[in-house]
Structure 1
Amino acid sequence: MPLLILLLFIGAPLMELYVLIEVGSAIGALPTIALCLLTAAAGTALLRQQGLETLTRARANMNRGSVPAIELFEGVALALGGVLLLTPGFITDVFGFACLIPWTRRFLIRWVLRHVHVSYGPPPGNGPGGGY
Protein backbone atom coordinates (compact mmCIF):
# COMPACT_ATOMS: atom_id res chain seq x y z
CA MET A 1 0.00 0.00 0.00
CA PRO A 2 2.75 2.57 0.79
CA LEU A 3 4.32 1.81 -2.62
CA LEU A 4 0.99 2.50 -4.32
CA ILE A 5 0.67 5.83 -2.52
CA LEU A 6 4.26 6.73 -3.44
CA LEU A 7 3.59 5.90 -7.09
CA LEU A 8 0.40 7.93 -6.98
CA PHE A 9 2.05 11.05 -5.55
CA ILE A 10 5.09 10.84 -7.82
CA GLY A 11 3.69 9.17 -10.93
CA ALA A 12 0.47 11.17 -11.29
CA PRO A 13 2.13 14.62 -11.38
CA LEU A 14 4.79 13.34 -13.78
CA MET A 15 2.12 11.95 -16.10
CA GLU A 16 0.22 15.26 -15.90
CA LEU A 17 3.38 17.18 -16.77
CA TYR A 18 4.07 14.90 -19.71
CA VAL A 19 0.55 15.30 -21.11
CA LEU A 20 0.59 19.08 -20.56
CA ILE A 21 3.94 19.36 -22.37
CA GLU A 22 2.74 17.20 -25.26
CA VAL A 23 -0.52 19.12 -25.63
CA GLY A 24 1.35 22.42 -25.30
CA SER A 25 3.80 21.45 -28.02
CA ALA A 26 0.92 20.42 -30.29
CA ILE A 27 -1.41 23.40 -29.84
CA GLY A 28 0.77 26.00 -28.11
CA ALA A 29 1.20 27.22 -24.56
CA LEU A 30 -1.63 29.78 -24.41
CA PRO A 31 -4.28 27.47 -25.91
CA THR A 32 -3.19 24.77 -23.44
CA ILE A 33 -3.60 27.17 -20.52
CA ALA A 34 -6.96 28.33 -21.91
CA LEU A 35 -8.09 24.70 -22.22
CA CYS A 36 -7.14 24.06 -18.58
CA LEU A 37 -9.11 27.12 -17.50
CA LEU A 38 -12.06 26.10 -19.67
CA THR A 39 -12.23 22.61 -18.14
CA ALA A 40 -12.07 24.14 -14.66
CA ALA A 41 -14.93 26.54 -15.48
CA ALA A 42 -17.05 23.83 -17.12
CA GLY A 43 -16.36 21.51 -14.19
CA THR A 44 -17.39 24.17 -11.69
CA ALA A 45 -20.70 24.73 -13.50
CA LEU A 46 -21.35 20.98 -13.72
CA LEU A 47 -20.41 20.53 -10.07
CA ARG A 48 -22.91 23.19 -9.02
CA GLN A 49 -25.72 21.69 -11.10
CA GLN A 50 -25.06 18.09 -10.04
CA GLY A 51 -24.57 19.09 -6.41
CA LEU A 52 -27.95 20.83 -6.31
CA GLU A 53 -29.65 17.81 -7.91
CA THR A 54 -28.02 15.46 -5.39
CA LEU A 55 -29.01 17.72 -2.51
CA THR A 56 -32.62 17.81 -3.77
CA ARG A 57 -32.73 13.99 -3.93
CA ALA A 58 -31.19 13.71 -0.46
CA ARG A 59 -33.81 16.07 0.99
CA ALA A 60 -36.61 14.15 -0.73
CA ASN A 61 -35.31 10.88 0.77
CA MET A 62 -35.08 12.41 4.24
CA ASN A 63 -38.63 13.81 3.91
CA ARG A 64 -39.81 10.26 3.10
CA GLY A 65 -37.99 9.02 6.20
CA SER A 66 -35.28 7.07 4.37
CA VAL A 67 -31.54 7.50 4.72
CA PRO A 68 -29.94 9.23 1.71
CA ALA A 69 -27.01 6.80 1.61
CA ILE A 70 -26.37 6.84 -2.13
CA GLU A 71 -26.67 10.62 -2.17
CA LEU A 72 -23.99 10.80 0.54
CA PHE A 73 -21.66 8.70 -1.61
CA GLU A 74 -22.52 10.90 -4.58
CA GLY A 75 -21.66 13.97 -2.51
CA VAL A 76 -18.22 12.54 -1.78
CA ALA A 77 -17.74 11.71 -5.47
CA LEU A 78 -18.83 15.23 -6.44
CA ALA A 79 -16.38 16.80 -3.99
CA LEU A 80 -13.57 14.59 -5.29
CA GLY A 81 -14.52 15.45 -8.88
CA GLY A 82 -14.48 19.15 -8.08
CA VAL A 83 -11.02 18.93 -6.56
CA LEU A 84 -9.73 16.95 -9.53
CA LEU A 85 -11.14 19.47 -12.01
CA LEU A 86 -9.55 22.39 -10.21
CA THR A 87 -6.19 20.60 -10.26
CA PRO A 88 -4.35 21.66 -13.42
CA GLY A 89 -3.99 18.86 -15.92
CA PHE A 90 -5.91 16.77 -18.39
CA ILE A 91 -5.66 13.36 -16.73
CA THR A 92 -7.17 14.68 -13.50
CA ASP A 93 -9.86 16.37 -15.62
CA VAL A 94 -10.89 13.01 -17.10
CA PHE A 95 -11.30 11.51 -13.62
CA GLY A 96 -12.95 14.69 -12.35
CA PHE A 97 -15.55 14.69 -15.11
CA ALA A 98 -16.12 10.96 -14.49
CA CYS A 99 -17.08 11.87 -10.91
CA LEU A 100 -19.44 14.62 -12.09
CA ILE A 101 -21.29 12.90 -14.95
CA PRO A 102 -24.24 11.04 -13.36
CA TRP A 103 -23.96 7.65 -15.08
CA THR A 104 -20.17 7.39 -14.67
CA ARG A 105 -20.40 8.63 -11.07
CA ARG A 106 -22.97 5.92 -10.24
CA PHE A 107 -20.83 3.30 -11.97
CA LEU A 108 -17.80 4.36 -9.89
CA ILE A 109 -19.85 4.32 -6.67
CA ARG A 110 -21.18 0.81 -7.41
CA TRP A 111 -17.64 -0.35 -8.18
CA VAL A 112 -16.30 1.09 -4.91
CA LEU A 113 -19.17 -0.44 -2.91
CA ARG A 114 -18.44 -3.87 -4.43
CA HIS A 115 -14.66 -3.75 -3.95
CA VAL A 116 -14.06 -1.79 -0.75
CA HIS A 117 -14.71 -3.26 2.65
CA VAL A 118 -15.97 -0.67 5.11
CA SER A 119 -15.87 -1.34 8.83
CA TYR A 120 -16.85 0.92 11.66
CA GLY A 121 -16.34 0.96 15.38
CA PRO A 122 -13.24 -0.10 17.27
CA PRO A 123 -11.34 -3.12 15.97
CA PRO A 124 -11.96 -6.38 17.89
CA GLY A 125 -9.96 -6.53 21.07
CA ASN A 126 -9.47 -2.78 21.38
CA GLY A 127 -12.51 -2.12 23.52
CA PRO A 128 -12.54 -1.50 27.27
CA GLY A 129 -9.92 -3.59 28.97
CA GLY A 130 -7.51 -3.48 26.04
CA GLY A 131 -8.45 -6.91 24.70
CA TYR A 132 -6.36 -8.85 27.24
Structure 2
Amino acid sequence: MFVRLLLLLTIVPIVELFVLLAVHGAITERYNFQTGLLVTVGGILATGILGASLARSQGVGVIRELQQSIARGQFPARSLIDGAMILAGGAMLLTPGFLTDLVGLSLLIPVTRNLYRRMLNSWFLRSIQRGETRVRFHSQFAPGPERFEREPGAFRGPVIDVTPEDRD
Protein backbone atom coordinates (compact mmCIF):
# COMPACT_ATOMS: atom_id res chain seq x y z
CA MET A 1 0.00 0.00 0.00
CA PHE A 2 2.85 2.36 0.86
CA VAL A 3 4.49 1.78 -2.52
CA ARG A 4 1.23 2.52 -4.35
CA LEU A 5 0.75 5.72 -2.39
CA LEU A 6 4.36 6.76 -3.01
CA LEU A 7 3.98 6.12 -6.74
CA LEU A 8 0.71 8.06 -6.80
CA LEU A 9 2.22 11.02 -4.99
CA THR A 10 5.21 11.14 -7.34
CA ILE A 11 3.82 10.11 -10.71
CA VAL A 12 0.65 12.25 -10.67
CA PRO A 13 2.51 15.56 -10.08
CA ILE A 14 5.05 14.68 -12.79
CA VAL A 15 2.30 13.90 -15.30
CA GLU A 16 0.41 17.07 -14.31
CA LEU A 17 3.53 19.16 -14.77
CA PHE A 18 4.14 17.58 -18.17
CA VAL A 19 0.55 18.33 -19.27
CA LEU A 20 0.73 21.92 -17.99
CA LEU A 21 3.99 22.53 -19.83
CA ALA A 22 2.61 20.92 -23.00
CA VAL A 23 -0.51 23.09 -22.93
CA HIS A 24 1.54 26.19 -22.23
CA GLY A 25 3.99 25.28 -25.01
CA ALA A 26 1.24 24.66 -27.56
CA ILE A 27 -0.43 28.00 -26.82
CA THR A 28 2.92 29.83 -26.77
CA GLU A 29 3.82 28.44 -30.20
CA ARG A 30 0.62 29.78 -31.69
CA TYR A 31 0.50 33.11 -29.86
CA ASN A 32 3.15 34.27 -27.39
CA PHE A 33 4.58 33.45 -23.95
CA GLN A 34 2.30 35.78 -22.00
CA THR A 35 -0.84 34.50 -23.71
CA GLY A 36 0.21 30.90 -23.06
CA LEU A 37 0.82 31.65 -19.42
CA LEU A 38 -2.43 33.56 -19.05
CA VAL A 39 -4.52 30.82 -20.69
CA THR A 40 -2.83 28.02 -18.73
CA VAL A 41 -3.15 29.70 -15.33
CA GLY A 42 -6.59 31.06 -16.21
CA GLY A 43 -7.78 27.59 -17.16
CA ILE A 44 -6.66 26.19 -13.83
CA LEU A 45 -8.35 29.05 -11.95
CA ALA A 46 -11.56 28.72 -13.99
CA THR A 47 -11.86 24.97 -13.34
CA GLY A 48 -11.18 25.60 -9.64
CA ILE A 49 -13.93 28.22 -9.39
CA LEU A 50 -16.38 26.10 -11.39
CA GLY A 51 -15.52 23.06 -9.31
CA ALA A 52 -15.89 24.88 -6.00
CA SER A 53 -19.37 26.08 -6.89
CA LEU A 54 -20.34 22.64 -8.20
CA ALA A 55 -18.91 20.94 -5.09
CA ARG A 56 -20.91 23.28 -2.87
CA SER A 57 -24.20 22.70 -4.66
CA GLN A 58 -23.70 18.93 -4.91
CA GLY A 59 -22.58 18.77 -1.28
CA VAL A 60 -25.70 20.57 -0.09
CA GLY A 61 -27.83 18.09 -2.05
CA VAL A 62 -26.03 15.12 -0.51
CA ILE A 63 -26.41 16.54 3.00
CA ARG A 64 -30.15 16.92 2.35
CA GLU A 65 -30.37 13.28 1.14
CA LEU A 66 -28.38 12.15 4.18
CA GLN A 67 -30.76 13.90 6.57
CA GLN A 68 -33.81 12.46 4.80
CA SER A 69 -32.40 8.92 4.94
CA ILE A 70 -31.67 9.22 8.64
CA ALA A 71 -35.13 10.70 9.28
CA ARG A 72 -36.66 7.64 7.55
CA GLY A 73 -34.51 5.32 9.68
CA GLN A 74 -32.48 4.05 6.75
CA PHE A 75 -28.74 3.66 6.57
CA PRO A 76 -27.50 6.49 4.29
CA ALA A 77 -24.91 4.41 2.41
CA ARG A 78 -25.43 6.06 -0.97
CA SER A 79 -25.30 9.55 0.50
CA LEU A 80 -22.12 8.75 2.41
CA ILE A 81 -20.43 7.38 -0.71
CA ASP A 82 -21.57 10.39 -2.73
CA GLY A 83 -20.30 12.71 -0.01
CA ALA A 84 -16.90 11.02 -0.02
CA MET A 85 -16.70 11.28 -3.82
CA ILE A 86 -17.68 14.97 -3.72
CA LEU A 87 -15.04 15.59 -1.06
CA ALA A 88 -12.42 13.78 -3.17
CA GLY A 89 -13.50 15.72 -6.26
CA GLY A 90 -13.21 19.01 -4.41
CA ALA A 91 -9.75 18.08 -3.14
CA MET A 92 -8.63 17.19 -6.66
CA LEU A 93 -9.81 20.57 -7.90
CA LEU A 94 -7.58 22.24 -5.31
CA THR A 95 -4.48 20.64 -6.80
CA PRO A 96 -3.17 22.53 -9.81
CA GLY A 97 -3.38 20.59 -13.03
CA PHE A 98 -5.73 19.71 -15.84
CA LEU A 99 -5.92 15.95 -15.31
CA THR A 100 -6.80 16.15 -11.61
CA ASP A 101 -9.30 18.90 -12.45
CA LEU A 102 -10.90 16.64 -15.05
CA VAL A 103 -11.19 13.72 -12.61
CA GLY A 104 -12.36 16.06 -9.84
CA LEU A 105 -15.08 17.57 -12.03
CA SER A 106 -16.20 14.11 -13.11
CA LEU A 107 -16.64 13.20 -9.43
CA LEU A 108 -18.88 16.25 -8.96
CA ILE A 109 -21.19 15.61 -11.91
CA PRO A 110 -24.06 13.29 -10.84
CA VAL A 111 -24.07 11.20 -14.04
CA THR A 112 -20.38 10.32 -13.89
CA ARG A 113 -20.50 10.01 -10.10
CA ASN A 114 -23.15 7.28 -10.58
CA LEU A 115 -20.73 5.42 -12.87
CA TYR A 116 -17.94 5.71 -10.30
CA ARG A 117 -20.31 4.50 -7.57
CA ARG A 118 -21.27 1.43 -9.61
CA MET A 119 -17.59 0.64 -10.27
CA LEU A 120 -16.79 1.10 -6.58
CA ASN A 121 -19.68 -1.17 -5.55
CA SER A 122 -18.57 -3.85 -8.03
CA TRP A 123 -14.99 -3.66 -6.80
CA PHE A 124 -16.14 -3.85 -3.18
CA LEU A 125 -18.41 -6.85 -3.83
CA ARG A 126 -15.62 -8.69 -5.67
CA SER A 127 -13.29 -7.92 -2.78
CA ILE A 128 -15.79 -9.40 -0.32
CA GLN A 129 -16.37 -12.49 -2.48
CA ARG A 130 -12.61 -13.13 -2.71
CA GLY A 131 -12.39 -12.84 1.06
CA GLU A 132 -10.12 -9.80 0.95
CA THR A 133 -12.60 -7.64 2.87
CA ARG A 134 -14.63 -8.44 5.97
CA VAL A 135 -17.92 -6.69 6.56
CA ARG A 136 -19.28 -6.18 10.03
CA PHE A 137 -22.54 -4.44 10.80
CA HIS A 138 -22.77 -2.58 14.08
CA SER A 139 -25.50 -0.08 13.42
CA GLN A 140 -29.11 0.56 14.26
CA PHE A 141 -29.59 0.99 10.51
CA ALA A 142 -28.28 -2.46 9.54
CA PRO A 143 -31.15 -4.52 8.15
CA GLY A 144 -32.10 -7.68 9.98
CA PRO A 145 -33.03 -10.97 8.31
CA GLU A 146 -36.72 -9.97 8.24
CA ARG A 147 -35.98 -7.46 5.44
CA PHE A 148 -34.66 -10.22 3.22
CA GLU A 149 -37.67 -12.40 3.97
CA ARG A 150 -40.02 -9.55 2.93
CA GLU A 151 -38.09 -8.64 -0.20
CA PRO A 152 -37.28 -11.74 -2.26
CA GLY A 153 -34.16 -11.25 -4.30
CA ALA A 154 -32.98 -8.30 -2.20
CA PHE A 155 -29.93 -10.29 -1.19
CA ARG A 156 -28.36 -13.27 -2.87
CA GLY A 157 -26.18 -15.22 -0.50
CA PRO A 158 -26.00 -16.23 3.12
CA VAL A 159 -27.49 -13.80 5.61
CA ILE A 160 -25.52 -13.47 8.80
CA ASP A 161 -27.32 -11.57 11.52
CA VAL A 162 -24.70 -9.59 13.42
CA THR A 163 -25.67 -7.60 16.48
CA PRO A 164 -23.58 -5.38 18.74
CA GLU A 165 -23.45 -8.22 21.30
CA ASP A 166 -21.55 -10.39 18.79
CA ARG A 167 -18.42 -8.19 18.89
CA ASP A 168 -15.04 -9.84 19.43
Amino acid corresponding to residue 30 of structure 1 in structure 2: L
Which gives a bigger RCO, structure 1 or 2 (Cα 8 Å, sep 6+)? 1
Q: Structure 1, unaligned stretches of length 5 or more? A: 122-126
Scaled by the length of structure 2, what TM-score is found? Answer: 0.67
Paired residue for 1:32? 40
Deviations 1:69-122 (A, max 9, x none): 10001010000000001100000011101110001112112211211334356x
| Letter of the structure 2 residue corresponding to residue 104 of structure 1 | T
- Segments ≥4 residues shifted beyond 6 Å: none
Alpha carbon RMSD of aligned pairs, Å? 1.8
Question: Aligned equivalents of 1:34 and 1:70: distance in 2?
Answer: 35
Residue number in structure 1 paired with 2:14? 14
Which amino acid is 2:68 matched to?
A: A
Cα deviation, residue 2, structure 1? 4.2
Greater C-alpha radius of gyration: 2
Query: How far did 1:41 drift?
Result: 0.3
Query: Is residue 80 of structure 1 aligned with residue 95 of structure 2?
Result: no
Determine whether 1:44 maps to 2:59.
no
TM-score by length of 1: 0.85
Of 104, 110, 127 in structure 1, the residue corresponding to residue 118 of structure 2 is 110
Of the candidates 54, 63, 71, which is equivalent to residue 55 of structure 1?
63
Q: Aligned residues: percent identity?
A: 37
